[in-house]
């Protein structure tokens, strides 16, 4: 063999500017530095979408056939141009992957056909969209901030049929008592917002659920985290302080330690029980976020 391996222009540049003895330093943190980003993984500071799509791709590969069927029945998911991947010919994003898995968890214990549902804090409406597309929901009521409700009303009006949309009632938080009347619900839902409310407001909603609901599905964090490496506290320390103080579960947890998260599960189940006599039917980790838990409660059947 007469020729020696040659260094191409790309790696000449990398060796001169990104990976060399001067930049490597003393090894104390090179695995979270630009040095290792060039050698083993994409730079996390500039490749967030790449990692998000990788997560979606891997989650899609684990979906069961029933969840794929739920996704296909939920048409219009592409509205809003979500970050998505194509898997087995189907475009899929993280929001709706979560939604069909949440529905799967609920359906193991509760038949929603013909049911009346109350959702507290609907975001843009992905949960309502998924349930209405897969189950014969008689009535779906959303309680939310007026500003957020403007989005969910517009979005659900676009992705649902007129007949489905007519079954949705939108109630701003300052009209709850006047607008609910004597309505009762087969299922009450809160996903990812009770942990952001003050304790008095959480108590109000749990009392409302205990009074008017038969079942309650909750999906929220088990506690707080203070790992600055996750986002560099980009919103500022004041925002971090507000977040750490909100909700019922304020213990700071190592959210990337599965034993620490599971150790908080008992507190989660106790904290979100609407009333002492309600039973927790099931609870489990709420994938994919490491520090989220989910539980389904049931009001006791009258004797």
- The answer to whether 138 and 115 have CB atoms below 8 angstroms apart is yes
Please tell me the pTM assigned to this model. Answer: 0.88
Give the mean model confidence (pLDDT) for residues 262-269.
96
* Domain ranges within the chain, ordered by starting residue: 42-108, 109-298
pLDDT digits (tens, 9 = 90+) for 143-202: 999 999 999 999 999 999 999 999 999 999 999 989 999 999 999 999 999 998 889 999
**What is the DSSP code string of 278-298?**
-EEEEEEE-SSSTTEEEEEEE
Q: Is the CATH number of domain 109-298 3.30.450.20?
A: no
Tokens standing for residue 229:
């490496």
How many Cα atoms within 13 Å fall on the side-chain side of residue 154?
8
Residue 204's H or E segment, with its range, is helix 199-212
Q: Which residues are CB-contacts of 187 (< 8 A; sequence separation ≥ 6)?
A: 106, 110, 112, 115, 116, 117, 118, 213, 214, 215, 216, 217
User: 1 pLDDT exceeds 60?
Assistant: no
For 29-81, write each residue's pLDDT tens digit: 767 677 777 767 777 778 889 999 999 999 999 999 999 999 999 999 999 99
> Starting from the edge strand earliest in sequence, which strands make up the sheet with 116-120, in order?
168-172, 139-144, 116-120, 187-191, 215-221, 292-298, 279-285
Most confident residue range from 26-30, 47-51, 127-131: 127-131
Q: Are 247 and 197 in contact (CB under 8 A)?
A: yes
At residue 20, the pLDDT reads: 77
- DSSP code, position 33: S
pLDDT at 235: 65
pLDDT in tens, 9-18: 766 887 788 8
What is the share, in percent, of the chain residues with pLDDT greater than 90?
72
pLDDT at 205: 95
Asked whether the predicted pLDDT for residue 140 surpasses 90, the reply is: yes
């Amino acid at each position: 063999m007469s020729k020696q391996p040659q260094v191409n222009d790309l790696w000449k540049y990398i060796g001169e500017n990104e990976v060399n003895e001067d930049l490597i330093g003393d090894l104390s943190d090179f695995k979270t530095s630009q040095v290792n980003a060039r050698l083993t993984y994409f730079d996390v500071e500039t490749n967030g979408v790449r990692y998000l799509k990788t997560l979606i791709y891997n989650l899609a590969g684990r979906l069961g056939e029933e969840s794929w069927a739920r996704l296909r029945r939920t048409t219009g998911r592409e509205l809003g141009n979500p970050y998505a991947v194509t898997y087995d010919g189907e475009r899929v994003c993280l929001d709706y992957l979560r939604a069909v898995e949440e529905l799967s968890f609920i359906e193991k214990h509760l038949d929603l056909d013909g049911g009346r549902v109350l959702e507290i804090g609907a975001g843009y409406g992905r949960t309502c969209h998924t349930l209405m597309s897969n189950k014969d929901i008689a009535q779906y009521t959303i309680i939310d901030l007026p500003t957020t409700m403007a989005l969910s009303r517009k979005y659900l009006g676009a992705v649902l049929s007129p007949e489905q949309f007519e079954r949705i009632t939108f109630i701003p938080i300052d009209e709850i008592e006047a607008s609910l009347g004597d309505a009762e619900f087969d299922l009450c839902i809160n996903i990812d917002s009770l942990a952001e409310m003050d304790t008095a407001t959480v108590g109000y909603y749990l009392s409302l659920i205990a009074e008017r609901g038969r079942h309650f599905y909750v999906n929220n964090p088990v506690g707080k985290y203070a790992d600055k490496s996750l986002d560099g506290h980009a919103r500022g320390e004041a925002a971090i302080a507000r977040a750490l103080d909100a909700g019922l579960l304020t213990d700071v947890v190592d959210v990337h330690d599965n034993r620490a998260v599971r150790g908080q599960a008992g507190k989660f189940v106790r904290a979100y029980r609407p009333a002492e006599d309600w039973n927790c039917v099931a609870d489990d980790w709420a994938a994919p976020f490491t520090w989220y838990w989910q539980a389904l409660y049931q009001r006791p059947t009258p004797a």
